[in-house]
Amino acid sequence: MTVPDVFDPRIYADGIPHDRYRALRDFRPVARQDEYEVLGWPAGPGFWAVTRHHDVVRVLKDSATFSSELGATQIRDPEPDDLPFIRRMMLNQDPPAHGRLRRLVSRAFTPGRTGRFEAAARARARALLTGARDVAEDGVLDLVATVTDDYALLNLADLLGVPKSDRGMLLKWTERVIGYQDPDEAAALSHGPDGRPVNPRSPAVLGEMFAYAQQLATYKRRHPSDDVMTALAHATDGDTRLTAAELEMFFFLLTVAGNDTVRSAAPGGFLALAEQPDEQRRLRAGRAAVDTAVEELLRRHPPVLSFRRTATRDTELAGQPVRAGDKVVVFHASANHDERVFDEPHCLDLTRTPNPHVSFGDGPHICLGAHFARLQLRVLHEEALRTLPELSLAAPPRRLVSNFINGIKSLPLELGKPGPR
């Protein structure tokens, strides 16, 4: 068979390529992918695309064989000079170094601390949804522009302890990092002497964010409060503290990943409900629990499309030989729709249980903020049920051009006019 291409970021502007994923799952579960020049980004050596749930979980759990550190976790290879810098981030480390940093940060990200933000998140959701409903023109609102972008950003800023005057910077930094493949975002990128865009994760681009992180940490040491940056500024592991570089990279990780997890997942969930009016009515009638519904919506629309690992040794995956140094990329949305694990995976079932989706990853790098993300999504859906009438699509969504983030840039929804049964 001709191996379907699941690398090209432009494919994802039309939605998750489920037909391609299924062909790979059925016939080439570990498939070689070319990594050609696209959208101004240079070609690479290629990689193995892993699409079945069992194999995705194996890769994510086996950090000894599939390393986050050797080549970092994005499909595109970082510049060699940037790699030591990128490895400062917990996301791009392997045990045992990863475990030390995760222990330090997990004490800041306790369920108790995040749970105390529920009342504020609920009030914010209610205000944003009510405001969007009341100003909707001809009964149509763009949920991304009026609700979900602000909801995710302001909740994160509260959790981190970022002053209101500085919160716009968080959105600017997030958009620059996650939207780097999207032509709409290209104007915000720096370019090198050769005219090529500079990777927005490189140290040359992140100086402004890092300087701010240090200023904020200094302030939190003098004026502590109940927020994550205060906890990070004071974090200790015996006699060990976060170094200045580690604190900067944590701020980067939390700002980008903490914001974009909910920023991507929230509109994806509402899109699924608008496309499936019977399931939406089931939720509205109380025949599906919101917690269970959130898990199914996450399965259908994972916030992250792919993560890369690098083989540390010669091995075999689903019968395919993989050589030491090869790039191995797992595809979350494909694993979440694997017929070997999920009955009728393309059917939205808000009561699905069990639901072993991998939308927050698995293994040692499972998303540290998953509890906070679930809380925000649950609260947003609960308030939408109270605030908004039935929702249907007013126009197709506009999606982010990216093979990494499953983003939605615009989601026009019509209020009170259900779609066809």
Has residue 199 got a pLDDT over 90?
A: no
Q: What is the pLDDT of residues 146-166, one digit of tens each?
A: 999 999 999 999 989 999 888
Domain contains 227: no
Mean pLDDT of 214-243: 84
Domain contains 131: yes
Q: What domain range is 358 assigned to?
A: 9-166+256-415
Has residue 179 got a pLDDT over 70?
A: no
End-to-end CA distance of the chain: 37
Task: Find the range with the poorest average confidence among 32-46, 204-218, 349-363, 387-401.
Answer: 204-218
Mean pLDDT of 229-252: 81
Domain contains 335: yes
Residue 167 banded pLDDT, cuts 50, 70, 90: confident
The structure's pTM equals 0.92
Domain contains 82: yes
Mean pLDDT of 309-315: 98
- Domain count along the chain: 1
Q: What is the pLDDT of residues 81-119, one digit of tens each?
A: 888 888 888 999 999 989 888 887 787 777 777 778 899
Q: What percent of the chain has pLDDT over 70?
A: 92
How many C-beta atoms lie closer than 10 Å to residue 97's C-beta? 13
Domain contains 341: yes
Residue 418: per-residue pLDDT: 43
- The CATH code of the domain that includes 272 is 1.10.630.10
How many C-beta atoms lie closer than 10 Å to residue 415's C-beta? 17
Q: 330 vs 60, 327, 336, 362, CA distance in Å?
A: 8, 10, 11, 11
Mean pLDDT of 285-306: 97
Residue 419: per-residue pLDDT: 41
Residue 420: per-residue pLDDT: 41
Domain contains 241: no
Q: What average pLDDT does the structure give for the chain?
A: 90
The answer to whether 365 touches 68, Cβ cutoff 8 Å, is: yes
Tokens 């763009």 found at = 142
Domain contains 247: no
DSSP at 93: -
From the list 248, 349, 332, the residue with the least C-alpha distance to 51 is: 332
Domain contains 230: no
The bridge status of strand 315-317 relative to strand 320-322 is antiparallel
Considering only residues 208 and 342, tell me which one the structure prediction assigns the higher pLDDT. Answer: 342
